[in-house]
Chains A and B, each alone.
Chain A
């Protein structure tokens, strides 16, 4: 079964640094998403991406966040200046055109010190 892969699995960074979280979605999927989950808490929607542009974003997804699909395969989430409260697990998901074939990556645990 195809998989969504995320790298790195764990990243530690200092407050104020930029981080880029990478995701390789399923190759023929059309919709892509980023979520975050602070330890022990709910899964928070960050952004959805379709046709090479953001289709929906949450209040969390402010100016310090950006997404790109630079080469048609990778789907990246950039946090420009990390804050302590950005520490969380970040999940990527991709969705096929049928809107039922959803695949999640295993997540990147981001720790901001």
Chain B
């Protein structure tokens, strides 16, 4: 069965630190990959997505992610975090059939001013 793993459950960083959140998936076929952010008390907001082409994807708010097919990974990065980046981050994967659209367990990011 397809699954999505986010190994970092809770990350605490100081402002201006660099961020990398891990996401790995298990699925044998072609997938489309997403990162979502959820600010406290709010709904999911799309940060970026990958479906083909350049494996380095740039999203909103200075975030980027790199798809490494050989590692089944799609890690999220940001060179310099801000206090306002404090939120929950979810990786998601859609199978090439569209039937399976699963989320990882989420990573809680706290940025200390």
Q: Which residues of A contact B46 (CB under 8 A)?
A: 102
Contact in complex: A95, B101 (CB < 8 Å): yes
| Pair count A-B, CB < 8 A | 58
Contact in complex: B100, A99 (CB < 8 Å): no
Contact in complex: B99, A56 (CB < 8 Å): yes
**Which one of A43, A48, A56, A98 lies within 8 Å of B44 (CB-CB)?**
A43
Contact in complex: A93, B99 (CB < 8 Å): no
- Is the C-beta of B26 less than 8 angstroms from some C-beta in chain A? no
Q: Which of B63-113 contact A (CB under 8 A)?
A: 90, 92, 94, 96-106
Q: Which residues of B contact A102 (CB under 8 A)?
A: 34, 46, 49, 94, 101
* Count of interface residues, chain A, beta-carbon cutoff 8 Å: 24
Which residues on B are within 8 Å of A, measured CB to CB? 32, 34, 43-44, 46, 49, 51, 90, 92, 94, 96-106
Which residues on A are within 8 Å of B, measured CB to CB? 30-31, 33, 35, 41-45, 48, 50, 55-56, 91, 93, 95, 98-100, 102, 104-107
